[in-house]
Amino acid sequence: MHIHNNISLKPFNTFAIDCQCQKLIEIDNNEDFEQLFLQEVFNDKFFILGGGSNVLFINDFEGTILHLKTKGIEIINKTDEDVYVRAAGGEIWDDFVDFCVKNGFYGVENLAGIPGLVGSCPVQNIGAYGAEVKDVIYQVEGFHLPDGKTFVLYNEECQFAYRDSIFKNGLKGQCLISHVVFKLSKNANYQLNYKQLADELEHSGKELSLPLIAETVVKIRNSKLPDITKIGCAGSFFKNPVISHAEFEQLSSKFKDIVHHPTAEGEKLAAGQLIELCGWKQRRIGDVSVYPNQALVIVNWGNAKGCEVLDYSRQIINSVKEKFGVTIEAEVRIVG
Ligand code: EPU
Does the pLDDT value for residue 282 go beyond 90? yes
pLDDT of residue 34: 85
Q: What value does the mean pLDDT take over residues 209-228?
A: 97
pLDDT of residue 30: 84
Does the pLDDT value for residue 33 go beyond 90? no
Looking at the DSSP bridge assignments, the partners of residue 64 are 23, 46
Q: What value does the mean pLDDT take over residues 50-77?
A: 96
Residue 179 to residues 50, 69, 73, 151, 324: CA-CA distances in angstroms?
13, 12, 9, 10, 42
pLDDT of residue 251: 97
Does the pLDDT value for residue 70 go beyond 90? yes
Residue nearest to atom 40 of ligand 1 (CA): 236
In the chain, what percentage of residues exceed pLDDT 90? 95
Dist. CA 272 → ligand 1 center (Å): 6
Q: How confident is the model at residue 170 (pLDDT cuts 50, 70, 90)?
A: very high
pTM for the predicted model, two decimal places: 0.96
Active-site residues, by number, are 163, 236, 331
Dist. CA 96 → ligand 1 center (Å): 23
pLDDT of residue 261: 94
Q: Most confidently modeled of 30-39, 95-104, 145-154?
A: 95-104
Residue 27 to residues 86, 180, 275: CA-CA distances in angstroms?
18, 17, 39
Does the pLDDT value for residue 231 go beyond 90? yes
Q: How confident is the model at residue 199 (pLDDT cuts 50, 70, 90)?
A: very high
pLDDT of residue 254: 96
Q: What value does the mean pLDDT take over residues 28-54?
A: 91
pLDDT of residue 31: 87
127-142: pLDDT as tens digits: 999 999 999 999 999 9
> Which residues have C-beta atoms less than 6 Å from ligand 1?
128-129, 194, 224-225, 235-236, 239-240, 259, 270, 272-273, 276, 294-296, 331
| Residue whose CB lies within 8 A of the most ligand 1 atoms, among 55, 236, 238, for a mutation test | 236
Q: What value does the mean pLDDT take over residues 265-277?
A: 97
